[in-house]
Amino acid sequence: MPTHADLLRVFAGVAMVGIGGGLPAHMRRAALGRAWMTELDFAETYTLAQLTPGPNAVNLAAMIGARLRGWPGALWAVVGVLTPGLIAMLAVTVVTLGLPGGLPAPLQSALRGAACAALAVMLTAALPVLRVVGGLRGGWPLALATFAGIGLLRLDLLPVLAVVLGAGLILHRPRPQEQP
């Protein structure tokens, strides 16, 4: 079993090798390689992490930490996975937002270029989710309704969530004959 210091150190290491994404894969390697979890434990935890609100990678860290060392374990895993990025982000933020005269022109151009590429990253992150959605009963109509409501009509999120989630729950409700 890992100590709190182990969790802090390993999750900080996961964050540092996970620049650009793929954090769940690095967490899997870290936890299985140290025999902290079995493949099945990880698969179950990963499934649950998709269902809780919030950023998936941080949720997954909290869940792995909690399974290994309870509440304090969750805390140390989350602090570990966030700390390297927080330090780097704050350093860059102070420079980019804190300069009195604003950013020099070349840096502004660089940030605009980076933002265009980040758009592409966001789109590639959406594609696997949309593929899974396409295989679900009512998946595409509900996804498009969500897109129209939030993206085009700029409706408040909670009513959209209530309608789409409600329709999905009715469509996919457990049926008596499917029970073991």
Partner 1 sequence: MTDAGANWLDILLTFTRLGLISFGGANLAEIERVLVGQRQWITPGTLASGFALGQIMPGPNMLAMTHYGFAAGGWAGAAAATLGFYGPTALLSAAAALAWRRLLGWKWLPTIRSALLPFGGGVLLAGVLVLARGSVQSVAGAVIAAAAFALLTRTRVNPALVVIGAAALGALIGL
Single out the residue of 7, 117, 159, 177 in contact with partner 1 (rule: CB under 8 A).
117
Residue 54-93 contact track with partner 1, rule CB under 8 A, x = bound: xxxxxxxxxxxxxx--xx--x---x--xx-xxx-xxx-xx
Q: Which CB, 35 or 117, lies closer to partner 1?
A: 117
Nearest approach, Cβ of 5 to partner 1 (angstroms)? 19
Residue 139 touching partner 1 (CB under 8 A): yes
Q: Which CB, 5 or 118, lies closer to partner 1?
A: 118
Query: Stretches 2-10, 30-38, 43-51: which one binds partner 1 (CB under 8 A)?
Result: 43-51
Residue 21 touching partner 1 (CB under 8 A): yes
**Which token pair is 78?**
């989350």
Residue 159 touching partner 1 (CB under 8 A): no
Residue 112 touching partner 1 (CB under 8 A): yes
CB within 8 Å of 1: residues ≥ 6 apart: 36, 68, 69
Give the separation between CA 180 and CA 177, rounded to whole angstroms. 8
- Range 107-132 burial, b when 16+ CB lie within 10 A, else e: eeeeeeeeeeeeeeeeeeeeeeeeee
CA-closest candidate to residue 64, choices 82, 51, 53, 77: 77
Nearest approach, Cβ of 138 to partner 1 (angstroms)? 7
